[in-house]
Amino acid sequence: MKLPPYATLGQKIWHYAFLVLCGLIFFFLIAPILTIIPLSFNAENFFTFTPGMLAFDPEAYSLKHYRDFFTNPDWQQALSNSVRIAPVATLLSVALGTLAAIGLSQSHVPFRRAIMAILISPMIVPLIISAAGMYFFYSRIGLQGTYIGVVLAHAALGVPFVIITVTATMVGFDQSLTRASANLGAGPVRTFFKVQMPLILPGVISGGLFAFITSFDEVVVVLFVGSASQKTLPWQMFIGLREQISPTILAVATILVVVSILLLTTVELLRRRSERMRGLTPG
């Protein structure tokens, strides 16, 4: 993207205009997320910068919205529900998904394409349709409005991400290692945990992170499949945004942004590690 030294004036203007345009688009992408961070420290119940905040007056900033988040029983209930639902759903989709991904990457799997299409389908179908179907079906079998129902629904939504990341890791897995291990006398279970698992672990973890974020951030399905006692953090935010919007939402949003930065970093590190182990240079 360097401008050649012989560029004409028009080309120079065009070049810099392009860079400014790109800057503006990046601003559009990132600014909304960054704006809410300072707003969440607002001492007033406003959703805009008060004159005091613009003058960097320490009085105009406060942690009161964070205090509200950590003391308000509604938010605490929602947080504890989220923490109770997401890890269990993740565990379920990772356990079943990893097993299936290993099965799918064997050399002879009948109907591989059809099976793959079925396993990926929860990612393809729009959430509102999955939510509607699950609402109808789960109320038939008595799972609607139960903790188990929400966990099962979220586990199903997380499965495609585990399948995709783990099968991708399995592509680089050298199957002769398992044969070597079997040759040396290890049983299939021992081979799995001692040889296969350590090598595909980065893929499993990043698949698990995707499944976790899917469940943790999911609101449509839980809105229909869950009942008030399964109210999760996104659900509470959804209600807050729809009915009486309170600045506590901004504090929660800021906390979630920090969480997603941590997750993003983890996934990126894992991806690089996995590519290094497969002999590819990090891209």
- Asked if 219 interacts with another protein (CB under 8 A), we say yes
> 138: buried, middle or exposed (CB in 10 Å: 19+, 13-18, 0-12)?
buried
- Asked if 261 interacts with another protein (CB under 8 A), we say yes
- Report, in Å, the least distance between residue 3 CB and another protein: 11
- Report, in Å, the least distance between residue 264 CB and another protein: 5
Which residue, 168 or 201, is less far from another protein as judged by CB?
Answer: 168
Contacts of another protein in 143-172 (CB under 8 A)? 152-153, 155-156, 159, 161, 163-165, 167-168, 170-172
Among 126, 185, 187, 279, binds another protein (CB under 8 A): 126
- Report, in Å, the least distance between residue 171 CB and another protein: 5
Which residue, 73 or 283, is less far from another protein as judged by CB?
Answer: 283
- Report, in Å, the least distance between residue 123 CB and another protein: 8
119 near 100, Cβ under 8 Å? Answer: yes
191-216 residues labelled b (16+ CB within 10 A) or e (exposed) = bbeebbeebbbbbbbbbbbbbbbbbb
Total residue count of the chain as it appears in this document: 283
CA atoms within 13 Å, Cβ hemisphere of 148: 5
16 near 3, Cβ under 8 Å? Answer: no
**Distance in angstroms (rounded) separating the CA atoms of residues 81 and 157:** 18
Among 3, 45, 49, 280, binds another protein (CB under 8 A): 49
- Asked if 43 interacts with another protein (CB under 8 A), we say no
Q: Please tell me what DSSP assigns to residue 279.
A: T
- Report, in Å, the least distance between residue 142 CB and another protein: 14
Among 9, 124, 184, 228, binds another protein (CB under 8 A): 124
**Distance in angstroms (rounded) separating the CA atoms of residues 106 and 100:** 10
Among 3, 12, 16, 22, binds another protein (CB under 8 A): 22
Judged by CB under 8 A, which stretch of 59-67, 69-77, 97-105, 193-201 contacts another protein? 97-105
Judged by CB under 8 A, which stretch of 22-30, 60-68, 70-78, 80-88 contacts another protein? 22-30
Helix, strand, coil shares of the chain as percentages rounded to 5? 75, 0, 25
Residue 213, Cα to own-chain centre: how many angstroms?
3
- Asked if 96 interacts with another protein (CB under 8 A), we say yes
